[in-house]
Amino acid sequence: MNKLKQLLATGVVATIMSTAAQAEYGLNMPVGVTETSRQVYDLHMLILWVCVAIGVVVFGAMIYSMIYHRKSKGAVASQFHESMTAELVWTVIPFIILVVMAVPATTVLIDMHDSSEADMQIKVTGYQWKWHYEYIGEDIEFFSSLDAASNEARQVGSDIDPATVENYLLDVDKPLVIPVGKKVSFLLTAADVIHAWWVPDFGWKKDAVPGFINEAWVRVDKVGVYRGQCAELCGRDHGFMPIVVEVKSEADYAVWVAEQKGAAAAAKLASIEDLDPRELKQKGKKVYRANCVACHQVKGEGIPGVFPAITGSVIATGDINNHINMIMNGKAGTAMAAYKDQLSDVDLAAVITYQRNSLGNKVGDAVQPAEIAALR
């Protein structure tokens, strides 16, 4: 019973139920929205029909032989044990078939790996359990995590019906945005364990491996929103690491880029200004629910024997410097990750202030973004 409770708490059962609820039972693979996905689909259909033709010939010959050359009809088996002709036929024909299939397959594979002459580059880094996107040369970067609605609904005791949450477990707080019709090159890596970046409509998936850079590319021909997931078993929250790519027109993409640069400038300004503790708590609640709630739970009670509580903890009610160090640098040998490189100065200050003055704690102090910046 205790093991079942732990599984429920860590979301394993929720993941299984969600997967079953959202499974698609199509009879064929999707065509997708990229040139690569269409090439893969065409190759798949070509090989399928080649296999169908082989099956018809082989099983047709077997069935014909069993019916018209059976012993009851007086048929006598021919002897060709060392026939050179037979040896050549069943060696050469399969070889020719393999070559016929290998040529288009090789062409598609070469095209899939040719990320040269890209219009833009995006570095994708997998974390447990979120994605970090960095637009090379654009001074734009951000983390993309499971959206708040899905994150809240998946918690034990939330009493929220997942069916009422739109795109449950397949939505994020900040989607990746790219322009339509442009060749986008991806540089994929990971900061902790092996992840895999996969959007089915793009026609490929690529592993994100710590210490290595894998390359891939995409050119989407249709404006829209495309969803995917991490396709590697990357830990306890693997099922809560979705990918959302929003493809915009060139004009809308230019507006989005301007907005992101404006927001980045505002964030830098906010990091050197003192913020009202109430504002920090309000923002800290959002940061907490996006990054901490999976382990420490919505009310800060944690999971007994698995993850410690925030409520009344020595860290959250003791020396604020120890609290800051724990949030920024994590704790070796535990599931507590280092958030120094994952959250901004404002977000770090906000979540620490929230933890010390909410969730049953009333320490009464606060930390400002400038203090976090100084500690970097």
Q: How confident is the model at residue 360, as a pLDDT?
A: 92
Q: pLDDT tens digit string along 99-113?
A: 988 999 999 999 888
pTM of the model: 0.75
For residue 193, what pLDDT is reported? 93
Residue 26 banded pLDDT, cuts 50, 70, 90:
low
- The string of pLDDT tens digits covering residues 278-330 is 889 999 998 998 888 878 888 899 888 888 999 999 999 999 999 999 999 98
Can you tell me the distance from the alpha carbon of 228 to that of 216, in angstroms, rounded to the nearest whole number? 15
Domains of the chain: 35-112 (1.10.287), 120-264 (2.60.40.420), 271-375 (1.10.760.10)
- Residue 95's region, left for phi above 0, alpha for psi from -120 to 50, else beta, is alpha
Residue scoring higher pLDDT (131 or 86): 131
Q: Does the structure show a pLDDT above 60 at 18?
A: no
- More confident site: 116 or 123: 123
Asked if residue 133 has pLDDT above 90, the reply is yes
Q: Which of 17-26, 48-57, 288-297 has the highest mean pLDDT?
A: 48-57
Report the distance separating Cα 222 and Cα 244, nearest Å: 15
Question: 270: pLDDT confidence band, cut at 50, 70 and 90?
Answer: low
**What is the reported pLDDT for 22?**
47
- Cβ density class 117-127: b for 16+ within 10 Å, e for less: ebeebbbbbbb
Q: State the Cα–Cα distance between residues 147 and 167, nearest whole angstrom.
A: 10
